[in-house]
Amino acid sequence: MSEVYAARRALLRERYATAGAEAAVVSRPANVRYLCGGAPAGAALLLGPAAGPEDLLVCPPDPVREPGRERVEEPLRTLLLPMTEAEADPVVTAAGLAASAGAGSLAVEEHHLSVARHRAVAAAAPRLRLTDLACAVEQQRLVKDEEEISCLRIAAEIADQALGELLESILVGRTERHLALELERRLIDHGADGPAFPTVVGTGVNAGRPGHTPTDRRVEEGDFLCICLGAGYRGYRSEVGRTFVIGTTPADWQIELYELVFEAQRAGREALAPGTAYRDVDAAARHVLDAAGYGEGFGARTGHGVGLEIDEDPRLSPSAMGKLDACVPVTVEPGVHLPGRGGVRIDDTLVVRPEADGGPELLTITTKELLAL
């Protein structure tokens, strides 16, 4: 693995060198992890002008080991700050080291560093010219390699298994919170680092509610039951969302709403292809719901990228700029929520693939039939 990380750092080094910076400090946790594998929380990665060996990972004392991180091995020079510097900021330390190593300019992540931390960096290394690394690492992370995709594939399988097991159990009478906790336990049973994000379980009026947090409401006959969960596997995060009906026969309005959202979600999935504009994927799904008069109930985005973060670029929204590339994993997750009645959300994680390779690769294979449980 370690060659992979070294290659990623070499590519980043070219980018900031081209932009006129002699060194860079990466501080955003997912970016640090992408560039050196396992990294404790709060660590800062110092990249020098020279080759790999110059790179240094500056870690705070008492580093928090996050699940999945300890698995990755990376022979990177590491500086563990002593307890006496417990309050020290690894970014400031790294900048000081860059300055004393003779660097004249340093690129930092201005979208991650607070104004106060940035000021502390400038104060610690006054002769260092600070530039903006911007989202150079996020851009590198956009297209995944097959190693990353296989981690996402496993993460998706784990979530499918956990969901499948839950559906075989009795659901009526159990609360949203307990169903969410059971799903998270099953994710770990099946080898996940942990949940990729807080599991969403919404039943009845809560089903399909955007940003819903599980409550003590119990599942009842006739409810829509909306579940969205994901697994983290070696740091990579999947997402799957399904909606079910509780009881023997769904009501007509439930069948109609489900078929509509399914139609929108399929349109979004079918729009996934290299070269397609992000906003066109959003439009494909959104158009179906708008045409049926549910545009308002729909959220701000049809989907988003997934990887080391559950919500990363690209954004599949009306205002998003850019086009899909092959090997970009995204979610397609349209939904409709009718206040006071409930709603439907259907959410898959797919990898964009060219037509020649069979088109988009579906990672979340749980059925999208409307199951009556």
Binding site for a copy of itself (CB under 8 A): 40-41, 61-67, 83-84, 86-87, 110-119, 132, 177-178, 181, 184-185, 188, 210-213, 298-301, 315, 317-319
Residue 77's beta-bridge partner residues?
Answer: 56
Closest to a copy of itself by CB, 185 or 357: 185
Q: Which amino acid is at 141?
A: R
Are residues 63 and 70 in contact, defined by beta-carbon separation less than 8 angstroms?
no
Closest to a copy of itself by CB, 230 or 360: 230
Q: Min. distance of Cβ 156 from a copy of itself in angstroms?
A: 21
Are residues 305 and 170 in contact, defined by beta-carbon separation less than 8 angstroms?
no
Q: Min. distance of Cβ 303 from a copy of itself in angstroms?
A: 13
Closest to a copy of itself by CB, 87 or 252: 87
Q: Min. distance of Cβ 343 from a copy of itself in angstroms?
A: 13
| Residues 5, 142: Cα–Cα separation, whole Å | 15
Closest to a copy of itself by CB, 52 or 232: 232
Are residues 74 and 2 in contact, defined by beta-carbon separation less than 8 angstroms?
yes
Are residues 328 and 290 in contact, defined by beta-carbon separation less than 8 angstroms?
no
Are residues 146 and 190 in contact, defined by beta-carbon separation less than 8 angstroms?
no
Which residue is it, tokens 């009501």? 251
Q: Min. distance of Cβ 114 from a copy of itself in angstroms?
A: 5
Q: Min. distance of Cβ 44 from a copy of itself in angstroms?
A: 15
Closest to a copy of itself by CB, 52 or 214: 214
Quick one: how far is CA 40 from the chain centroid? 19
3-state SS, residue 19: coil
Q: Min. distance of Cβ 203 from a copy of itself in angstroms?
A: 15
| Residues 80, 57: Cα–Cα separation, whole Å | 8
Name residues whose C-beta falls within 8 Å of residue 181's C-beta, 6 or more positions apart in sequence: 199
361-362 and 329-332 strand pairing: unpaired
| Residues 72, 90: Cα–Cα separation, whole Å | 21
Name residues whose C-beta falls within 8 Å of residue 270's C-beta, 6 or more positions apart in sequence: 284, 360
Of 50, 363, 344, 110, which is closest to residue 204 (Cα–Cα)?
344
Closest to a copy of itself by CB, 1 or 300: 300
Q: Min. distance of Cβ 24 from a copy of itself in angstroms?
A: 15
Closest to a copy of itself by CB, 116 or 170: 116
Token pair in block for residue 126: 């006054």
Closest to a copy of itself by CB, 210 or 222: 210
Q: Min. distance of Cβ 270 from a copy of itself in angstroms?
A: 23
